[in-house]
Amino acid sequence: MTVAESIKSKLTAALTPSRLEIEDESHKHAGHSGWQPGGETHFRVRVISDLFTGKSRVERHRLVHAALQEELATRVHALALELKTPDEQSR
């Protein structure tokens, strides 16, 4: 399973998102800190989930980080997050 597939599986299970986008941006960071040959080190993740309702930005990030703690401790160097509720998705 690729890192992106693992991220998708874990976030789907943890957040039941209505929308989930995972973009591997590793190619943009070649030669920078944390980059590894073969990529899968730098990701942008966009999630729309009802579970974010009433939660602060920090609380939303903590939910994602808890779900992905294994990936963040091993292969993933950078994770850019865009986390919204269904009501916020047009912003």
* Cβ–Cβ < 8 Å for 72, 40: no
pLDDT value of position 82: 97
Cross-strand bridge partners of residue 90: none
Model pLDDT for residues 63-91, shown as the tens digit of each residue: 999 999 999 999 898 899 999 999 998 76
How many independent structural domains does the chain possess? Answer: 1
SS (H, E, C) 31-68: CCCCCCCCCCCEEEEEEECHHHCCCCHHHHHHHHHHHC
Domain CATH for 39:
3.30.300.90
- CA distances to 15, 29, 33, 34, 74 from 37, in Å: 30, 11, 12, 10, 15
* Residue bearing tokens 């591997």: 24
pLDDT value of position 41: 86
Q: Can you give the residue range of the structural domain that contains 79?
A: 3-88
